[in-house]
Chains A and B, each alone.
Chain A
């Protein structure tokens, strides 16, 4: 595997008052991937991004981006990193064009009107280039923040809750834009509350809670490893006990013997669904009739909630 584009080792941040926002975080980000960092409020997602981008002073650990130590060689590293913050923080009286021009120059890039035009067009902001930012809608303001972050063509882009407060249609449009960035070779780290967003876009997922990374894995591998399939089969007549052929499956009886509940398999690759198909064949062979069948694969959200629940103090 190639060298990680970003490597974090033992990153710790303790705020005044003793709140430990990050606790010995280790994380490697691969070039070209979309990495989703999931965690509840106050888990340390924004602090982690802030530490890499220079907004937060870590109290311990090391960070290397593009082979540059972020503590010593921060200029070279930061020139290649972009950040879209969670808050809609823009100079409201500035025009869109001036805002992106400023960002391009601030990061040391020569003025390139053609590139800025390309970025604004890709984000459907070109017709708003002379509008003051305060006159734009919330979704447009967020896209202005993305345009500003892209103005210096970063190779690593942080998106902190990119679709917070954005309606469903716009959110899907933004997913397409993020996918297009990945196509262009930009490595993306995003934090999100919308787990479907991570499920839709991420190559790998990291789960963070109380400043600690609980798990990092390929999204599909995580779903396969931790996900399950649940099937609810309503029987035509109640069963007093399970016949041996049926009891061999991971099933249990419910609703006074009127319902058969299957929980098993791995959700990611459809293993559970295949086993449910075998179960229905076994029911037919055993002469057990059923009226309805409902199958549900656990989502990333189920896995996420389960993982966070496991570590909750009693």
Chain B
């Protein structure tokens, strides 16, 4: 299989430079939003809440809030990264270059995932100012965040190719990802929901992601970590297959 590292690095560097150029929107804005969550739910309301599964409430919501920002930002970054060249016409250069699906994904998705990781690190750093927490499995946590960031960067990439308007570009993160993350156990444990809502909540795939990340933080989760991990990996593979098909058929890329 061909892989042109220079091409991939060029795309990666350009995407990263775009992020730094729009640092306020890419980094500061989600950090500010998450900080407000920590202030309101972590410090003010959290101080009056009972611990969940032995974890103080302020610390309990960290994985969910992290997931909320990670999913939204990674998806938006990747979708914007490929949608804008389509919208402005600059995609001609990518399509006419000796660049295949592997280099394109390594560049666009790699950059979106990197931005997600930087964001996660900043959010975790910010959280230390508001709540006390410790990560039980830090290496697992880092790997899991990377896996989720890569998966949703791939998902965002598909979204950016599918969308033919700015409205469509914003619909999925705003109307699907954010509500599902809120309802996926970010602020509560699914096990505490009354029947049948605990079962209904498990129909939400984001609940598995939040639960998986919470396990890496505190060693407890609503669903077994293996299930969360398997689901995330399956989602990643599905996205890669869809993108490979898009490139082979040229859907929405080549006339």
Contact = CB atoms under 8 A, between A and B. Distances in A.
Interface of A: 15, 47, 50, 53-57, 74-76, 78-79, 81, 83, 85, 87, 89-94, 98, 101-110, 148
Contact of B92 (A81, A85, A98, A109): A85
B255 A57 contact: yes
B96 A78 contact: yes
B175 interface: no
Contacts of A78: 96-98
Given A98-B17, A102-B14, A110-B6, A55 B97 contact: no
B94 interface: yes
B93 A105 contact: no
B205 interface: no
17 contacts: A50-B255, A53-B95, A76-B98, A78-B98, A79-B98, A83-B96, A85-B89, A85-B92, A87-B89, A89-B88, A92-B88, A98-B14, A104-B10, A105-B10, A106-B93, A108-B6, A110-B6
Given A89-B88, A90-B90, A107 B7 contact: yes
A312 B196 CA distance: 73
A106 B10 contact: yes
Contacts of B255: 15, 47, 50, 55-57
Contacts of A148: 93
Contact of B250 (A57, A107, A109): A57
Interface string B218-255: 00000000000000000000000000000000100011
Contacts of A102: 10, 13-14
B7 A108 contact: yes
A73 B241 CA distance: 22
* 10 cross-chain pairs, A with B, having the tightest CB-CB distances, nearest first: A105-B10, A89-B89, A53-B96, A75-B98, A78-B98, A79-B98, A108-B4, A106-B10, A89-B90, A106-B97
A107 B254 contact: no
Interface residues of B, number: 26
A228 B92 CA distance: 42
The listed residue with most B CB atoms (<10 A of its CB), out of A53, A55, A93, is A55
A87 B90 CA distance: 9
A76 B100 CA distance: 12
B9 interface: yes
Given A15-B255, A55-B255, A105-B6, A75 B100 contact: yes
Contacts of B99: 106
Interface string B1-13: 0101011011101
Contacts of B13: 102, 105
Given A78-B97, A90-B90, A98-B17, A105 B254 contact: no
Nearest to A148: B93
Interface string B114-142: 00000000000000000000000000000
